[in-house]
Amino acid sequence: MSLKALFTEYFYGSKYSVQRFFGKLVPPKRLRSGVGGDKAFDAVGTKLFKHFVDLGNLKPHESVLDVGCGVGRMAIPLTRYLSRQGEYHGFDIRRELVQWCQDNVTPRFPNFHFELSDIYNTSYNPTGTCQASSYMFLYSDKKFDFIFLTSLFTHMLPDDVDHYFSEIARVIKPGGRTMITYFILNEESRALMNQGLAIWDFKYPVESCFTVNEAVPEEAIAYNEKVVLDLYEKYGFDLSGPIRYGSWPGRVNTLIGQDLVIAVKR
């Protein structure tokens, strides 16, 4: 075996040795500020990763799509889990976040890929040239075993969410799993909002959803539970277990802050 092959086998073959050799991957504070700084960045990523494995049955050799990858909050813990046979793809609309991942993650983990998608969003990319309701994912049909969206549909309007669902259904394999977070409105969450216990007060109706900000709806968006469930039925998914309701409206002893839905493609 050549010296280069030995180096690759040792440093890339171990899920821990690369991190020891190159140092911990931590984006600069200005890029990770959306999740509250370094401690929250690590804590949220670690917690969600555990759910990927325990609830989503993610395997090290599988192909993964991260829709709205940001600055690698989920990619970084996955570098310590996916094997060389596994593959990660992520895309996002914010250029500097994608650029950091391309410059810092991909050189160390060549099976991790990040793409920039110049999609318009009132809050996060107001100069975007493409509408989310017509954006085609950059991947072939039935490519992925596992697709996740964390805190993305919580910032997207109904037509955009519907189109993204159609694209998710296109690029996922039969039997593939999705894990998606939402703000879901039902009798319980509405009652908690009315009591003033919720972090967000979704009081403004916009199309078939609700927002906290009429001027900038994408700041935070919630959907009625039936609307969410109808999307899964429309695009051929079966829920895997119950909805895991989050703490955002004031619940206690929950898995995460947002509501979590896991589903399997028929």
Domain membership flag for residue 10? no
Residue 93's domain comprises 30-265
Give the per-residue pLDDT at 126. 86
User: If we measure between CA atoms, which residue out of 173, 244, 143, 157 comes closest to residue 207?
Assistant: 157
Domain membership flag for residue 220? yes
Domain membership flag for residue 164? yes
- Interacting residues of 99 by C-beta distance below 8 A, sequence separation 6+: 116
The burial of 95, by beta-carbon neighbours within 10 Å (0-12 exposed, 13-18 middle, 19 or more buried), is given as: exposed
Give the per-residue pLDDT at 124. 80
Domain membership flag for residue 44? yes
Domain membership flag for residue 18? no
Walking along the chain (266 residues) 10 residues at a time, the average pLDDT comes out as 39 36 73 65 88 97 97 95 97 95 97 96 85 96 98 95 98 98 98 97 96 93 98 98 97 95 98
CA-CA distance, 244 to 59, in Å (whole number)? 21
Instruction: Report the predicted TM-score, pTM, of the whole model to 2 decimal places.
Output: 0.88
User: If we measure between CA atoms, which residue out of 103, 55, 53, 49 comes closest to residue 74?
Assistant: 49
Domain membership flag for residue 212? yes
CATH code where residue 144 lies: 3.40.50.150
Domain membership flag for residue 2? no
Q: Do residues 118 and 128 touch, judged by C-beta distance below 8 A?
A: yes
CA-CA distance, 87 to 89, in Å (whole number)? 7
Number of domains in the chain: 1
CA-CA distance, 41 to 35, in Å (whole number)? 6
The burial of 144, by beta-carbon neighbours within 10 Å (0-12 exposed, 13-18 middle, 19 or more buried), is given as: buried
pLDDT tens by residue, 73-93: 999 999 999 999 999 999 999
